Amino acid sequence: MKDIVAIYPGSFDPVTNGHLDLIRRGSKLFDRLIVAIARNLDKGEALFSLAERREMLVAMTSELDNVCVDTFEGLLVAYCISKNANAVLRGIRAVSDYEFELQMALMNRKMEPRVETVFMMPAEQYSYLSSRIVREIARLGGPLTGLVPNMVEERVRQKIAQTHAVHTSTHLL
């Protein structure tokens, strides 16, 4: 039997319950799953540093023996080859995700035919959930219950309070 190593790439800014649902599903399907946090230069200012995102993901996946967390820079397919991975795992929530995911999967396949993309659906209660929406709700003081783990909720609230304090103090200068 082939040893299937899959990479689950993303920004994870921050990790949500939807991501964790997919990680659990992936860990049952693949021999090894590497959750790979991208240093994503296109996405502008991130809420959390790579190290902070990694720390939260490590804490949230510690009970899954075949899952590890890493960071990467540059092309995803180059990273896959460097890790001897044969699959990329991506979650599809709604039809709106499909177009972008299809483009990415086909482009990755064109660049590196040895790596297959596997799509999985998260549990339906997470189908409207994204890190972007979590950041927005948190910035506007809304509830994050059920969207992210408690530890992540606490870290998001601390971070928003810190950023707010820095903005207020620079305005006062």
Contacts to ligand PNS by CB under 6 A: 9-11, 38, 40, 75-76, 104, 107-108
Q: Tell me which of 19, 53, 54, 155 is the catalytic residue.
A: 19
Can 155 be counted among the known catalytic residues?
A: no
In the complex, the smallest distance separating the C-beta of residue 74 from ligand PNS, rounded to whole angstroms, is 7
For ligand PNS, give the closer residue by CB, 22 or 138. Answer: 22
Distance CA 6, CA 23 (A): 11
- In angstroms, the Cα distances linking 162 to 8, 127, 159 are 30, 30, 5
| 110 included as an active-site residue | no
CB closer to ligand PNS, 82 vs 162: 82
Is 19 marked active-site?
yes
Catalytic residue among 11, 27, 90, 131: 131
Told to judge if 159 belongs to the known catalytic residues of this protein, a careful annotator would answer: no
Determine which one of 53, 54, 90, 93 is catalytic.
Answer: 93
Alpha helices in 46-143 (DSSP H): 50-60, 76-82, 95-111, 131-139
The closest of 124, 112, 127, 161 to 141, measured between CA atoms, is: 161
| H helices present in the chain, as ranges | 17-29, 50-60, 76-82, 95-111, 131-139, 150-172
CB nearer ligand PNS, residue 75 or residue 166 = 75
Question: Catalytic residues, which ones?
Answer: 19, 43, 93, 131
